[in-house]
Amino acid sequence: MPLLELQINGVSRRLDVDPERSLLSVLRDDLDLTGAKYGCGEGQCGACTVLVDDRPTRSCLTKVASVAGRPLITIEGLERSGQLHPVQKAFAEADAMQCGYCTPGMIMESVALLRRQADPAAPEIVHALEGHICRCGTYDRIVRAVRRAAEATKGGTG
């Protein structure tokens, strides 16, 4: 099999994998990047969300070959020299989680939203996150966390 080159969190990785496999399985099983979660395998829950070219992408439905050479960001790539990303910080401070299993996907989707739109109103956040499930029901807190991150990064970069 030809080697695939993936650009993950700023690092280039060459992998000998079946190009038909899902990006999620390669991240988790081959690269031990387990922040992106399996929740449904059909793009319904959003737990597997990563950024491809800055776009939120369901890694469970994405063939690994289709993202070769494109910049990928996972939850593990948000921290910068020990500093949490403002969205991560806001989720922690707003206690926008219970079991936390959906949290990485929620954070990645929110990071993408704030990159497109620096100051989204609550209905816009709801719209952007509608494809994510939090079975613990912390939806309200997640909306508040995203608002908090938007406030914190006003005038800055997200």
Structure tokens at 8: 């993950």
- Report in angstroms how near the CB of residue 45 gets to another protein at its nearest: 6
Under rule CB under 8 A, which residues in 51-70 are in contact with another protein? Answer: none
The answer to whether residue 34 forms part of the interface with another protein (CB under 8 A) is yes
Give the CA-trace dihedral at 39, 42, 24, 71, to 10 degrees.
Answer: -120
Shortest Cβ 155–another protein spacing (Å): 23
Assess contact for 48 and 59: CB atoms under 8 A. Answer: yes
Q: Output the smallest distance, CB 156 to another protein, in A.
A: 19
Residue 39 engages another protein in binding (rule: CB under 8 A): yes
For another protein, which is the closer residue by CB, 81 or 155?
Answer: 81
DSSP letter string over 69-132?
A: TSEEE-GGGS-BTTBPPHHHHHHHHTT--SS-SSHHHHHHHHHHHHHH-SS--HHHHHHHHTT-
Closest-CA residue to 114 (of 39, 51, 46, 33): 51
* Binding residue (CB under 8 A) for another protein from 11, 119, 136, 151: 136
Of 6 and 28, which has the nearer Cβ to another protein? 28
Chain centroid to Cα 28, Å, comes to 14
Binding mask of the shown chain, residues 89 to 118, with x at each position contacting another protein by CB under 8 A: x-xxx-x-xxxxxxxx--x-----------
Binding site for another protein (CB under 8 A): 18, 21, 25, 28-29, 32-42, 44-45, 47, 74-76, 78-79, 84, 88-89, 91-93, 95, 97-104, 107, 125-127, 129-130, 132-143
